[in-house]
């Protein structure tokens, strides 16, 4: 049986192809969904399972699946059980980290955000923090940026110490994966919920030229930015999307669910692109 979490990935050609999915937002543990329905619960689950099927049927080898937070919309062990079952059945190594919805339940989702009640919840024990995945030519560092009972995230001093220790002890090209974004995406409402302590973080990691890539979720949109020599990728949700460059909350009704491929080459180069669900 496939062991979890993934800690090493080795390939014959040294290249590692990563499928990143994020912000699944499943709300109810229900049997496998074959057809999309009008229920948001079923839609999110349908999209998650359809994206897994579509991505793995593509003409590209998948060596690792990384799930970067907000696996659920309501913190219930049975929902994680279902998600992990789907991922285990792929037979591909995978790793999952927490997002804000994995440690916070929102009461009153139909109300304006400032009127909702945020309830702190413990993270599922299968969600990782300060986890290393070693490949032949890359080091992958996974962080939990969530704060229980909060929407915004945080890179703690302990997190920074750990990252710097790993980067200092290994000179392979490195990738960091976390949920919250570390650079503004130019939408005031979501940028108010990015990770705290990012200025200190960027100052500390600037010494490590072999840190090449950071990937995140949380923003429900596709963006790519360069900062301090690092390429930073934000990835669409497998469910619903936020309208980019909007200062007030807005859904992007025209954007389909998506996922990201990353190809980490054996020479330290990276190629990445987003694909969208076909139907």
Eight-class DSSP state of 262: E
Q: What integer pLDDT is reported at residue 55 of this predicted model? A: 98
Confidence of residue 113 (pLDDT cuts 50, 70, 90): low
Local confidence band at 38 (pLDDT 50, 70, 90 cut-offs): very low
Position 156 scores a pLDDT of 98
Residues 6+ away with beta carbon under 8 Å from 190? 181, 218, 219, 242, 249
Residue 195 is predicted with a pLDDT of 98
Instruction: Identify the pLDDT of residue 42.
Output: 80
Cα distances from 167 to residues 16, 124, 135, 156, in angstroms, run 19, 27, 14, 17
Phi and psi at 101, nearest 5°, equal -75, -15
Q: Reduced to 3 states, what is the DSSP secondary structure of residue 88?
A: helix
Mean pLDDT for the chain? 94
Mean pLDDT on 85-113: 91
How many percent of the chain have pLDDT more than 70? 94
First to last CA, the chain: 32
| Residue reference for tokens 């989702």 | 109
Domains in the chain (CATH in brackets) are 14-276 (3.60.21.10)
Quick one: pLDDT at residue 139?
Answer: 98
Q: Are the beta carbons of 129 and 99 closer than 8 angstroms? A: no
**Residue 29 pLDDT > 90, yes or no?**
no
Does the predicted model carry a pTM greater than 0.75? yes
Peptide bond into 30 cis (omega under 30): no
The per-residue pLDDT for 31 is 56
């Amino acid at each position: 049986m496939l062991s979890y979490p993934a800690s090493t990935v080795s390939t014959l050609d040294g290249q590692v192809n990563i499928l990143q999915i994020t912000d699944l937002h499943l709300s109810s543990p229900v049997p496998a969904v074959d057809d999309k329905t009008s229920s948001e619960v079923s839609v999110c689950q349908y999209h998650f399972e359809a994206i897994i099927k579509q991505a793995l049927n593509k003409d590209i080898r998948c060596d690792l699946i990384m799930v970067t937070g907000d696996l659920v919309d309501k913190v219930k062990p049975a929902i994680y059980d279902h998600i992990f079952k789907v991922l285990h059945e792929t037979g591909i190594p995978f790793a999952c980290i927490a997002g804000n919805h994995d440690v916070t339940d929102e009461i009153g989702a139909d109300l304006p955000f400032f009127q909702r009640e945020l309830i702190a919840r413990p993270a599922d024990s299968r969600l990782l923090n300060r986890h290393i995945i070693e490949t032949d030519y890359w080091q992958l560092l996974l962080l939990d940026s969530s704060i229980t009972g909060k929407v915004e995230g945080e890179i703690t001093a302990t997190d920074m110490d750990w990252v710097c220790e790993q980067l200092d002890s290994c000179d392979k090209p490195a990738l960091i994966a976390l949920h919250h974004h570390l650079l503004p995406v130019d939408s005031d409402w979501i940028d108010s919920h990015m990770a705290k302590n990012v200025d200190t973080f960027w100052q500390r990691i600037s010494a490590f030229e072999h840190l090449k890539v950071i990937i995140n979720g949380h923003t429900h949109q596709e963006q790519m930015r360069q900062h301090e020599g690092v390429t930073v990728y934000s990835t669409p949700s497998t469910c619903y999307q936020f309208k980019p460059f909007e200062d007030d909350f807005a859904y992007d009704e025209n954007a389909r669910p998506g996922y990201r491929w990353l190809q980490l080459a054996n020479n330290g180069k990276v190629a990445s692109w987003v694909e969208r669900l076909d139907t």
